[in-house]
Amino acid sequence: MTKRNWLLPAIVGIVAVALPFIVQGDYYRHILILVLVWITLGTAWNLLGGYCGCVSFGHAAFFGLGAYGAGLLVFHAGISPWWGMIVGPAVAVIIGIPIGLITFRLRGPYFALAMLALGEIFRLVFTNWVSATNGAVGILIIPAFTSKVAYYFIGLAIAAAGIYTVYRLMHSKLGYYFVSIREDQDAAEALGIPTTKYKMYALIPSALLTGLAGAFYMNYMAYIEPGVVFSLPEISIMMILVTMVGGAGTLWGPVLGGALYVILAELFRTTFGAANVLVFGIIVCLIIMYLPDGFIGDWPKLKGYFRRGRKASYAGGE
Amino acid sequence: MFGEMEKNSFSMAYDDLGDKTTINGRKIELLFEDGQGKPDIAKSAAEKLVHSDKVDMISGGYSSACTFPIAGAAQTMGVPFLDSTGAADKITTQGWEWVFRGTAAPASHYTGALFDFYDNVMHPKTTALMYENTDFGTSSADGYKAICEAKGIEVVFDEAYEAGAVDFKPMLMKAKAANPETCYVISYVMDASLIIKQARELDWNVDLFVGGAAGWTMPEFLENAKDASEYVASTTLWVPNVAWPGVSEYYNGYIAKYGKKPDYHGAQAYGTMQIIVDALNNAKEISYEGIRQSLLEINPTTVMGPIKLENWSDEFGHNYTNQNRPTTYVVQWQKGVLEVIWPEAAKSANYVCPVPKWSERK
Amino acid sequence: MVIFGQTFICGILLGGIYAIIAIGMTLIMGVMKIINLAHGALMMVGMYISYCLFTYCGGIDPYIAMFLSGACLFGIGYLIQKYSIEKVSGVETILPESQVLLTVGIMLVLTEAIRLIFKSDYRSVAPWYSGTSFFVGDMSISIPMLIGFGIAMAFVFVLHLFLTRTDLGRSVRATAQDRDAATYMGINSKRVTNFTFGLGSALAAVGGTLLLPIYYLFPDIGHAVLAKCFIITILGGMGSTMGALFGGLALGVAESFGATYWAMGYKDVVGLIIFIVVLLFLPGGFKSLTKR
């Protein structure tokens, strides 16, 4: 790795660690923590969806499983939900494996819809199976820390670990397999790559990271209910939009997307009140129409818009 | 619908209380935040009000799903929270000293007057129970079931449903087949309208059709169910013709100002504002602890009746903190007007029970 | 026995109405090869138009309003396809799913715009026949549901004629079968695609309006119906109108039986399970069954 490649992440890292001390006020720290959660979620989805090409519309299933993995420990056994940070992701992976085995035979939109249906099934089951999950009443715990700074660093650790994992995976042989599956699954098969096995290798870290974010969510928000953590529009679809807006198949895309989403959503909520989702929807449409590879993915194109004077710059690049 | 009604009522109370809202020269400022009906946003909004806007106390809370996290957040932050509507029992059974509930009764106690009516008038032996599978629906249903068991009334049919269904007939058919004398259905307004209309389509007759608050008492229920609403009874915490001071001024004033009729949710908001102003006037100092102490001391009379925030226990082992004891009424739609039919002392019309069958009406 | 019959009837009637909405989606899916996640929102807009026609324009009956609403949605759909979705089709991107996600964005915009205008309040229309029913033996049949079912079937029939007997209809089917071949044959595929999107949206508006007298209206109504639509579309086979018809009826009946014999709360799970089973074991849907 060249020195140039290390510089940007190092700067980002230093800023990230310093942020909770620069930014005063629990409300703003809360926003930062949400940003970290969404960065994690985007990165997790991106591994399976952006890099490996399996667009899942049902990742909320893993998020909810992670969250309930932690919450049910308290609900049924009175065990501290911090153990959920291990149990949650484990449950997400254990259930993720058979899900993958079933759904990986499907391609493209069919796979997307199957995952969507699964996400919804989990939501309905967790809502109606009251004895097991407390149903729509949800699970409330008393948060362990009052200071948000502690949560921020845990969230930061999770997000950083997620990004690093994806980085290592994509720079290994596995990464090449993932991309080849995305680009042309049949050609990959023809070359002898066992696509289901490699898709599974993408799914497992993806589910694990999503579940981990879920368990963290339980510990931080201190309240979950099936309608929130298994939500199709709020979680599943947002995970996709966050990644797409930032740039699918790029490392920093989900980071940018996650930050943009949380900050814009909160900004719009306080300025536009009820119209915030509308504004967000319009932005999403515009991005998909004009920057279909997201901000990071279409970075060269964006740069091009800003440098109109130099017409010959495209070929040479920057 | 509810959110606006409550917000308008809070504002109206604020205006009506005029001078009382200026305490020691400082005017009370109302800041509204919209939780958008989502529990996590509600929690964030509460935290923003406390940390960013530095409010002295918070109030509000409509759906139990949103109110509970707000209460939890208030408890954690050590800020007084006065719940106006959120009814789930657990909001005041946690032993949280910062959480108060004055104008709302715990969900399991919505039925006080109803069971009184059962004991004195109806003596039913069987009942059917249907409810939406949310926090509010489930809490209310559990409360109803427990009391029925204690009184020896058999619940012959018990089913939860997901709100927003188009076709309730599968569920209603089964209820009809179980042949109960009465029923208790906990729904919000649109489901309630569909349920009663479809019950009529199925020709399902009971001695008295009872809806569990919320949807069944709203003016929109009458608008949507039209004459299917006739003789439907419900339990409620407030009616426009109840005898507390200031009620008719609130009711008529609200209609004049906003063009719509308020129901008990609006009264709860109005009453809550009255409690807040009283507490702030009474507080020895405007601080979290000062306000908290004040809330414990005061005993104001509001449009919902006299309020005392105290600790008490009920016969089912619930221990409530900072909770006002509920006053409930049984009401019945008669000729498009919601009349109070029980208790005798508060009634505005005689009850009709058993009600005429669908085929005998009109 | 009564319960069985009643369940079946409720299921069929409601299923028929869902079918007409789903047919709109399957047409679009067949021609454009994308899942139109904005379909529910388009239906919702159609319902609001009908609502306004009833409430503010002197009580125009929904069964008449549906034609106007359908025409409006045809226009709206056409414009959306021409100026927005078309931009994204065929563009080389990392993920081919950007078209689908654009429809998600459109769904958000439509839903929130309506919410801004009409708020989240529940609204309903109550024409004189709303809530009326008659009895066949011990089973109750709702009149607006029966009428809705009848009209839905009429539209299916007319649509079938259109697709098989008219040139434009046959162009639609040709484009759905093989876009390039259709272009070689002289069909303007772009025009056909725009037309089909408009037609699909119009059908959604009609179906939604049929629901109006039996249900109620709020901005998020699109979500629940959307889920049912693509279950029906997959059940029936992408692009097959007859398949969508049978898929709709099947889903309606299955949900009804689920509600009666399992539990009301789990009724939607029935559809989802069927959906996954079909996806796994019969990916071509009913359509593939008939081409043996």
B65-89 confidence digits (pLDDT tens) = 778 888 888 888 888 888 888 877 7
Tell me, what CATH number does B274's domain have? 3.40.50.2300
Residue B120 in domain? yes
Residue B325 included in any domain? no
Residues of the domain holding B12:
2-104+245-303
The distance of B178 to chain A (nearest Cα, Å) reads 23
Record: contact B201-C126, CB cut-off 8 A? no
Per residue in A222-233, pLDDT tens? 888 888 899 888
Q: How much is the pLDDT for A143?
A: 78
Residue B201 and residue B181 in one domain: yes
Residue B179 is assigned to a structural domain of this protein: yes
CB-closest option in C6, C119, C211 to B169: C6
How many angstroms separate the CA atoms of C192 and A225, rounded?
Answer: 45
- For residue B323, pLDDT over 80 is answered with yes
Classify the C-alpha dihedral B207-B210-B216-B217 as positive or negative: positive
The pLDDT, as a whole number, for residue C201 is: 93
Q: Nearest-CA distance from C231 to chain B in Å?
A: 17
Compare CB distances from C279 to A113, A233, A280 and report the shortest one's residue. A113
**pLDDT score, position C58:** 80
Cα torsion through C111, C117, C118, C119, rounded to 10: 80
Name which of C122, C141, C210 to mutate to probe chain B: the one with the most chain B Cβ atoms within 10 A of its Cβ: C122
In this prediction the pTM is 0.83
Instruction: Report the pLDDT value the prediction gives residue A314, as an integer from 0 to 100.
Output: 47
Span A268-286, pLDDT tens digits: 777 766 677 788 788 888 8
B8 and A CB contact within 8 Å: no
Assign 3-class secondary structure to chain A. Answer: CCHHHHHHHHHHHHHHHHHHHHCCCHHHHHHHHHHHHHHHHHHHHHHHHHHCCCCCCCCHHHHHHHHHHHHHHHHHHCCCHHHHHHHHHHHHHHHHHHHHHHHCCCCHHHHHHHHHHHHHHHHHHHHHCHHHHCHHHCEECCCCCCCHHHHHHHHHHHHHHHHHHHHHHHCCHHHHHHHHHHHCHHHHHHCCCCHHHHHHHHHHHHHHHHHHHHHHHHHHHCEECHHHHCCHHHHHHHHHHHHHHHCCCCCCHHHHHHHHHHHHHHHHHHHHHHHHHHHHHHHHHHHHHHCCCHHHHCHHHHHHHHCCCCCCHHHHCC
Phi-psi region of B59 (alpha: psi -120 to 50; beta: other; left: phi over 0): beta
**CA-to-CA distance for B98 and B77, rounded, in angstroms?**
9
Mean of the per-residue pLDDT values of chain B:
83
Q: What is the pLDDT of residue A285?
A: 87
Does residue B335 have a pLDDT over 80? Answer: yes
SS3 B66: helix
Residue B362 above 70 pLDDT?
no
- Only one residue has tokens 């090409």, namely A53
Is the domain of B150 the same as that of B295?
no
Q: Do C14 and B167 touch (CB under 8 A)?
A: yes
Residues B210 and B125 occupy one common structural domain: yes
Looking at per-residue confidence, does B300 or A211 come out higher? A211
Q: The CATH number of the domain where C103 resides is what?
A: 1.10.3470
ipTM, two decimals, is 0.82
Band (A318; pLDDT cuts 50, 70, 90) = very low
pLDDT beyond 60 at A1: no
Instruction: Please indicate, yes or no, if residue B73 is contained in any of the structural domains.
Output: yes
B220 shares a domain with B120: yes
Co-location of B7 and B99 in the same domain: yes
In the chain, the amino acid numbered C234 is I
Q: Are residues B210 and B351 in the same domain?
A: yes
User: CA–CA separation, A242 vs A261, rounded Å?
Assistant: 7
Residues on chain B touching C10 (C-beta within 8 angstroms): 167, 169-170
Q: Are residues B122 and B222 in the same domain?
A: yes
Domain shared by B41 and B64, yes or no: yes
pLDDT in tens, B145-178: 988 998 899 999 999 888 888 888 888 989 999 9
Q: Count contacts between A and C (CB, < 8 Å).
A: 124
Rounded Cα distance, B358 and C16, in Å: 29
**DSSP characters for C128-161?**
TTTT-EEEETTEEEEHHHHHHHHHHHHHHHHHHH
Residue A314 structure tokens = 């495209």
C140·B202 Cβ contact <8 A? yes
- Surface of B (105-164) touching A: CB under 8 A: 133-135, 137-139, 160, 162
Q: What rounded mean pLDDT belongs to chain A?
A: 85
Tell me which chain B residue has its CA closest to the CA of residue A136. Answer: B134
Residue of A nearest to C284 (CA): A110
Residues B65 and B184 in one domain: no
What is the per-residue pLDDT across A34-83, written as a single tens digit (0 to 9) for each? Answer: 999 999 999 999 999 888 888 899 999 999 999 999 999 888 888 888 88
Is residue B116 domain-shared with residue B222, that is, in the same domain? yes
Number of domains in chain C: 1
Residue of A nearest to B76 (CA): A146
Phi, psi of B250 (to 5 degrees): -60, -50
Segment among A153-157, A177-181, B110-114, B196-200 with least mean pLDDT: B110-114
What is the pairing mode between strands B310-313 and B305-306? unpaired
Judge contact between A86 and A28, C-beta under 8 A: no
Strand, helix or coil at C27? Answer: helix
**Domain region containing C86:** 2-290
User: What are the pLDDT tens digits along chain C (292 aa)?
Assistant: 778 888 898 899 999 999 999 999 988 888 877 778 899 999 999 999 999 998 888 878 888 889 999 999 999 999 988 888 887 776 666 666 778 888 888 998 999 899 888 887 788 887 888 778 888 877 888 888 898 899 999 999 999 899 889 988 888 888 888 888 888 888 888 888 899 999 999 999 999 999 988 888 888 888 888 888 888 988 888 778 888 899 999 999 998 888 888 877 778 888 888 888 888 887 777 666 665 4
Query: Looking at the domain assignment, is residue B29 inside a domain?
Result: yes
- Report chain B residues whose CB lies below 8 A from the CB of C217: none
Query: What are the residues facing B319 on neighbouring strands?
Result: B313
Considering only residues 220 to 259 of chain A, which have any Cβ-Cβ distance to chain B shorter than 8 Å? 221-223, 225, 227-228, 234
- The residue of C21, C44, C141, C216 whose CB has the most chain B CBs within 10 angstroms, and thus the best one to mutate to test that interface, is C216
A23, A24, A27, A149, best to mutate vs chain B, most B CBs in 10 Å: A27
By three-state DSSP, how is residue C124 classified?
coil
Reported as a single tens digit per residue, the pLDDT across A204-223 is 999 999 999 999 999 988 88
Q: Residue A312 has what pLDDT?
A: 47
Q: Which of residues 50-89 of C touch A (CB under 8 A)?
A: 84, 87-88
Verify whether the Cβ–Cβ distance C108 to A125 is below 8 Å: no
Pair (B177, B148) in one structural domain: yes
Specify the pLDDT at position A315: 47
Task: Choose the closest CB to C84 out of A240, A275, A285.
Answer: A285
B125 and B97 within one domain: no
Q: How many domains does chain B have?
A: 2
> Above pLDDT 70, what percent of chain A?
94
Report the distance separating Cα B45 and Cα C261, nearest Å: 42
